[in-house]
Amino acid sequence: MITERDYYNMLNTAKADGLAAGLAEGEAKGREDGLAEGRAEGRAEGRAEGRNEEKIRMAKAFKEQGVAASIIAAASGLSEAQIAEL
């Protein structure tokens, strides 16, 4: 009977150790995936901001040259109201 209990305890300990290792591995993988997703989102936001800044820069340059707001809006994708604010 003692041998059976010892065997049972060994199996449970091995399962617990394996489970703990699996959880740690899963947490590390989750962190990696989360960081990668965060980086991708950050890059996408940065690109979008950069495109918008370039549109504004271009619109300002056209406006300084005396180009009509409707033409600037068509070329830049900005609204005429946004162009008027520049």
pTM above 0.85, yes or no: no
Query: Which range is least confidently modeled, 27-31, 40-44, 76-80?
Result: 27-31
Average pLDDT over residues 15-37: 72
What percent of the chain clears pLDDT 90, i.e. is strictly above it? Answer: 29
Displacement of CA 71 from its chain's centroid (Å):
35
> For all residues of the chain together, what is the average pLDDT?
82
The more confidently predicted of residues 7 and 46 is 46
Domains of the chain, by residue range, sit at 2-85
Q: In whole angstroms, give the CA distance from residue 52 to residue 73.
A: 13
pLDDT at 74 over 80: yes
